[in-house]
Structure 1
């Protein structure tokens, strides 16, 4: 198990790049988030998740994932708890917390994210989540 270093602001180490992505996401800083993504990034949201699919380009990822989450959920946050690093592969065990705007129901779900980082940029992302918990929070 590896955790990001404390001096990660300018590091190209895979865990540091991923940590910057989580921090930018939590802050709602889409420009900083896009800066962590490769121009040809492949970002896959899991089948069964409301935003399921694979998105490409930094702008495509933020428009089709982060901005849409912000439209449907209050305080959507991915809490990055544990990092496991193997070369360019970073697996993060995390939690999603949010409140669905339509139902007011709370979401608390464990997730795993697999990132591939090359040249200081995220080139691939794959999400693993209990989609039933997400759907449950979306239904009255």
Structure 2
């Protein structure tokens, strides 16, 4: 486990990001992100946009998800690694706090990892399913 915690391999860095997110450990999550990270949430997603800096990512994405959703979790299922590129096939599960509606949505995430840190992230998700859970 100690090797995993310090490994700079792209897949291990990305896996640590998912584990930190699932645990709600924003400090550990920020530790996986480069100072100049570019984190893009897909157009049409409630938090759409590109966020920079580790604090910018956690305050504009993870903290806002926690405000609007109960139990927001990204379940990482399959990793496809090509050098510094890591594509993760995953799913989001959560319940919207305002409507009580749940989601179980398939997603794909593309990470670029350099020097043991995530420098870029792009999300691909069926935004209509997420928005549907947010509306009465």
TM (norm. structure 2) is 0.98
1:25-64 superposed Cα distances (whole Å, 9 cap, x missing partner) = 0000000000000000000000000000000000000000
**Which of 81, 105, 108 lines up with 1:109 in the alignment?**
105
1:11 aligns to what?
7
List, as ranges, runs of 4+ consecutive aligned residues in structure 1 with deviation greater than 6 Å.
none
Say which of 46, 49, 67 aligns to 2:45.
49
Match of 1:134 in 2: 130
> What SS is found at the alignment partner of 2:4?
coil
Deviation at 1:8, TM superposition (A): 1.7
Q: Distance in 2 between matches of 1:131 and 1:82?
A: 21
Q: Distance in 1 between matches of 2:8 and 2:2?
A: 13
Aligned counterparts of 1:70 and 1:35: Cα–Cα separation in 2? 19
Question: What SS does the aligned partner of 1:8 have?
Answer: helix
Partner Cα separation in structure 2 for residue 41 and residue 118 of structure 1: 11
Q: CA deviation at 1:86?
A: 0.1
Output one character per residue of 1:105-140: Cα deviation in whole Å (capped at 9) or x when no partner: 001100000000000000000000000000010011
CA distance in 2: counterparts of 1:48 and 1:78, whole angstroms: 18
Give the aligned CA root-mean-square deviation in angstroms. 1.2
> Is 1:23 matched with 2:19?
yes
Unaligned segments of structure 2, at least 5 residues: none
TM-score normalized with structure 1 length: 0.95
Q: Per the alignment, in what secondary structure is the counterpart of residue 39 of structure 2?
A: strand
